[in-house]
Chain A
Amino acid sequence: MRKRMAAFAGMALASALALTGCSGSASGTAEGSEDTFKVAAFTAGYGTPGGKSTLDDFVEKGEALGWDVTLYTSEFDYDKINTDVTSAITQGVDAILAGFPDPRQVSPLVNAAKNANIPIFSIDGGVEPNDDFVVDVTFRQQQLAELTVGALEEAMGGLSGKDVMVIGHDPHIGIMTRSNIAQELLKAGGANIAGGEMKQVLNPGTSQEEALKFVTDYLQANPEGLDGVWVGWDHAALGATQAINEAGRDDIFVTGVDALGIAVNEIKKDGPFYGSVFQDWTSVVDQVVGDMDAYQKSGTLPSENFVEVEGTLIDRSNVDGFTPAL
């Protein structure tokens, strides 16, 4: 009797696990007719705000065009992504969409796609041209860094002699690139990097709390040693903002990237959070869907395999007219 109950509970649990584990991969209809255009879309960043909405947007637009889109997701687990997409290739797909791929970690599926002669279209797949993708549409990290450093300079009233903390996360290639550029820009402008080097957040999922601790502890030790905090993404920037508010300071400013709704709210308060950058992922998705549509209809591939688009700075001047997408 007890054994049967245990078996039942085990099954219930297993199916619950299966449900949550595969929640993303059931979007498309598995049975497609011969001529249906089949797309395997994947992202390892489905747990990030931009990742989910962008990929969901892609699936929606693709299916509107009559494509059979299957979405494979994971939480930064490229092993799973490689396995899933490779087996999808084996079962036959016509094109692959890479959502925010780390180009360093997808070579198994890239090789499998090459062997099967299947093109990979990429959204935000790195910071330089990459022959693995027939097209990679991404934001220009240099421009993102310039916008945010510029905003910080404006807030602090110049860079020279200012102490600025830089918070980054090197495992993320985009954040790594823009935070290093920003650090160089800050140094070139004559600012000091607070603490001597960039602070690294260990886990993106808990970045708000980590950044809160960085700034709180730093201010405790160096109350006079901070004028600005440059943060690679909004989530962590919110933690920095909170620390400054709690320390009762109004002379330290923060910038982020993403223009999350919650960040936009902070910018509206005229507090420490000074500016963030809006990346229009919807237009990026439109461009990639267009490229893919052309490929389906006529077999033509995009002329350029690396397309850089530009972000928009959201600060006190334009925040009231801005509707956040995330």
Chain B
Amino acid sequence: MTKTDTLPATTTAPRVRERASISQLFWQGGTIVALIVLIAFFTAMRPDVFLSFGNMRNILEQIAILTIIAVGQTVVMVVGDFDLSVGTNATLSGATAASLMIGGTPIPLAIVAGLCVGLLVGVVNGLLVAFLQLSAFVATLATMTTVGGLAFIATSGTTLYGMPEDFFWIGQGRPMGIPMPIFFAVAAAIILWLVLRFTTLGRRWYAVGGNAEVARLSGVNVRWTRFLAFAVAGLASAIGGIILVSRLGSASSASGNNYMMLAVAAVFLGMTILKSGQANVGGTLVGVGIIGVMSNGLNIIGVNTYIQQVLTGLIIIAAVTLSALKARKS
């Protein structure tokens, strides 16, 4: 503070490069360093395997669904809230679509119905948080539980299967040798990045997250803005959930529930990349990348899953700590 108070007037001269350069932006956090170190480590361990085209494709396919759900979560975290219901919402949306298809509903209609279910859950979250002003933690914890219960009802607690073959193209198709989920993930990330970066809606989302009262007094309809963020997260969860069902060829009562923790972890990792500590799509992708590379790499070098879980937690702590230390220094 004191430093900038005494800035000499000459510094008002405009500079050429106002936007932080890519490298500056990206090297602010330890998170990217962590990802690069991980990739380097696994490459060194299995040089012939890890960086091969086949394995890169594996990793991308394995993180594709998480990416879709995590970029939806990113939007909610941009407005300063979070959504704990994305995991069970993915499960319920996927199960709804699956059970409709098994019952003979045409595929497109069943998919739309699944998307509507996810959107509806997001809308309920939005109503509770934005309009009834409940805390996001309490509201989405409650919807998480309710929706998780509904998923048990939708699947009768068992595994649904027997969807039409055509439906599997969404999760298992490989045009040009690239698994379909990757296309969906790339599209979701690009769309939400564009919206957050270049639209007035994105500006409003960031403004509400920065300071809701300032946004309101600047003419932003804060409730509506916040509501939309939850709706987007709900829709993204549904997309992820439906792709998951198609990918696995089955819908069980808890198949997507794990994605909530992973998505929140990915967004938190991504938040360390920006100095301002805001959620952002680029960062979330790095976070998702860390989670995916960890899981794939540790499987490849044959580390047992219990230890994998411990290591994943430690990596998250390390990356976040590194960024915090760097931020303190600068």
Contact = CB atoms under 8 A, between A and B. Distances in A.
A21 B255 contact: no
B254 A47 contact: yes
Given A16-B146, A20-B153, A221 B46 contact: yes
Contact of B58 (A200, A201, A217): A217
Nearest to B147: A20
B296 interface: yes
Contacts of B127: 9
Most buried by A among B162, B254, B295: B254
Nearest to A19: B149
A235 interface: yes
A300 to B, nearest CB: 34
Interface string A149-190: 000000000000000000000000000000000000000000
A9 B132 contact: yes
A17 B46 contact: no
A324 to B, nearest CB: 11
A209 B149 CA distance: 21
Contacts of B256: 206
Interface in A95-140: none
B295 A213 contact: yes
B250 interface: yes
Interface string A13-47: 10011011101000000000000000000000011
Contact of A205 (B134, B254, B296): B254
Given A221-B46, A221-B49, A262-B162, A209 B255 contact: yes
Interface string B140-162: 00110110111011001111011
Contacts of A195: 302
Given A220-B49, A220-B55, A20 B149 contact: yes
Nearest to B174: A246
Contacts of B93: none
B255 A205 contact: yes
A5 interface: yes
Nearest to B152: A47
Interface in A196-212: 196-197, 199-203, 205-206, 208-210, 212
Contact of B309 (A202, A216, A246): A202
B43 interface: no
Interface string B255-285: 1111000000000000000000000000000
Contacts, number: 128
Most buried by A among B134, B142, B159: B159
Q: Number of contact residues on B: which range applies? A: 35 or more
Contacts of A47: 152, 157, 253-254
A282 interface: no
Given A47-B157, A52-B157, A214-B299, A206 B142 contact: no
A20 B305 contact: no
A17 B145 contact: yes
Contacts of B62: 213, 216
B257 A49 contact: no
Nearest to A247: B54
A246 B256 CA distance: 21
B52 interface: yes
A71 interface: no
Interface in A213-229: 213-214, 216-218, 220-221
B258 A203 contact: yes
Interface string B300-316: 11101110010000000
B244 interface: yes
B249 interface: yes
Contact of A200 (B46, B55, B301, B305): B305
Contact of A197 (B132, B146, B304): B304
A168 B133 CA distance: 45
Contact of B157 (A19, A49, A196): A49
Contacts of B52: 220
Contacts of A9: 127-128, 132
B299 A218 contact: yes
A213 B65 CA distance: 13
Nearest to B300: A221
Nearest to B156: A52
Contact of A13 (B146, B296, B306): B146
Nearest to B134: A6
B248 interface: yes
A48 B156 CA distance: 10
B252 interface: yes
Contacts of A216: 58, 62
10 contacts: A9-B127, A17-B149, A20-B153, A47-B253, A49-B159, A203-B257, A217-B58, A217-B300, A242-B249, A262-B159
Interface of A: 2, 5-6, 9-10, 13, 16-17, 19-21, 23, 46-49, 51-53, 195-197, 199-203, 205-206, 208-210, 212-214, 216-218, 220-221, 235, 238-239, 242, 246, 260-262, 265, 326
Given A20-B150, A195-B302, A203-B258, 4 more contacts: A200-B304, A205-B254, A213-B62, A242-B248
